[in-house]
Amino acid sequence: MAFTSFVPATVGEVLSELVDFTSVQLGWTASYDSGNEIATIDPKASEATFVLGHADNDPHGSEISCQVTKGADTFTAHVDTISGLANVWLFGGNSPEPWCHMVINSLPGDYHHLHFGYLERYGDWTCGAVADGTLWTTSNSSFSSNHRRAWESSYNHMLFGGANRYDAGSIAERMGGVLLDGANAPLGVGRFAFSHADVNQNSIVDTDGIAALYGGCTDNDNRRLIHPGLPLHNAAAPMAPFLIRADFEIDDFWVPIGAVAGVRMIHIDDFNPEQVITFGANDWQLFPLGNKTRGTSYDADHPDGVIGGTEYMGIAVLRA
């Protein structure tokens, strides 16, 4: 496992430091094109290539992209609304699979995440290259708007989940996915969404070109783990894995394909952002998945009467 943190001056410097981190500390093949500010990273020989770049076309800040390619199969994940660079953390490891997790603190209290590497695979398929980032829609459902939507999970893309409102369609084609090879993974590429219909309605692909994936912090299955009625960080239920499922046959039969290496879900309410805890002989650093701010929707079934906010959604990243 490896870890570093730094305060960069530019997003290009973030990518340059990422290349140094993955090549020196993780032993991956990585290079940086300083003229175009592009990082090319190969965690495994003869497998997928991860190409990271950035743009300033987001009205609320910069955006980092991560294109994942193996042969003819490809997808691109993004993390957006990077409106400052107060601090950056990089985490990574090579067990059980190569993985790297980036956290950017932009404006005070605002955290942005990008994860890439390989799933700890379940089942008879290969590759498993994964990448995804946090994405935020704008208040009037138009990405060109000057008003970012509040920190509500119900309208935004948390890690490894889906765009769970149709008005989040402006971010759908920028969500991440997984590359999976083999006879039991006939479509080759999966993109995060709640159903294959959602994938198509949000204009990601043609009808039969891709599998839908889910398993992040906004789907009902893992919400039970985040919010079981007791704090997750205790002896009974310390942390929950990010489990990913795929609809390979486009028949609403969801197959578990693996867990995301190096990270766990955690209920962040009782912890401070950036806090380091020791659990099971390992150190984990805790971050909000967005901002510890309550949403604007209300539901009597929610223990504190509030739903939609990202205040309880946290991530624990393996540090040492």
pLDDT digits (tens, 9 = 90+) for 236-262: 556 788 888 887 766 777 788 999 999
The percentage of the chain sitting over the pLDDT mark of 90, rounded to a whole number, equals 41
pLDDT at 295 over 90: no
Q: How confident is the model at residue 44 (pLDDT cuts 50, 70, 90)?
A: very high
Q: How confident is the model at residue 171 (pLDDT cuts 50, 70, 90)?
A: low
Mean pLDDT of 164-190: 73
Task: Of 245, 252, 243, 213, give the one whose Cα is nearest residue 225.
Answer: 243
Q: Report the distance separating Cα 263 and Cα 257, nearest Å.
A: 16
Who wins on pLDDT, 63 or 40? 40
Q: Is the pTM value of this prediction over 0.75?
A: yes
Task: Of 98, 243, 278, 236, give the one whose Cα is nearest residue 159.
Answer: 243
pLDDT at 301 over 50: no
pLDDT at 219 over 90: no
Instruction: For the chain, count helices (H), then strands (E).
Output: 4, 20
Pick the range with the lowest mean pLDDT from 16-20, 139-143, 218-222: 139-143
Mean pLDDT of 42-68: 90
Cα end-to-end span (Å), the chain: 6
| Residue 117 in tokens | 């590497």
Which pairing describes strands 189-192 and 177-181: parallel, antiparallel, or unpaired? Answer: antiparallel
pLDDT tens-digit series, residues 59-77: 678 999 999 999 989 999 9
Who wins on pLDDT, 201 or 189? 189
pLDDT at 274 over 90: yes
By residue count, the chain amounts to 320
pLDDT for 206 equals 40
Q: How confident is the model at residue 38 (pLDDT cuts 50, 70, 90)?
A: very high
Q: How confident is the model at residue 29 (pLDDT cuts 50, 70, 90)?
A: very high
Q: Report the distance separating Cα 180 and Cα 151, nearest Å.
A: 32
pLDDT for 218 equals 56
Mean pLDDT of 80-87: 89
pLDDT for 298 equals 42
| Residue 216 in tokens | 């992040």
Compute the mean pLDDT over every residue in the chain, rounded to the nearest whole number.
79
pLDDT at 280 over 50: yes
Pick the range with the lowest mean pLDDT from 124-133, 138-147, 219-228: 138-147
Mean pLDDT of 28-35: 98
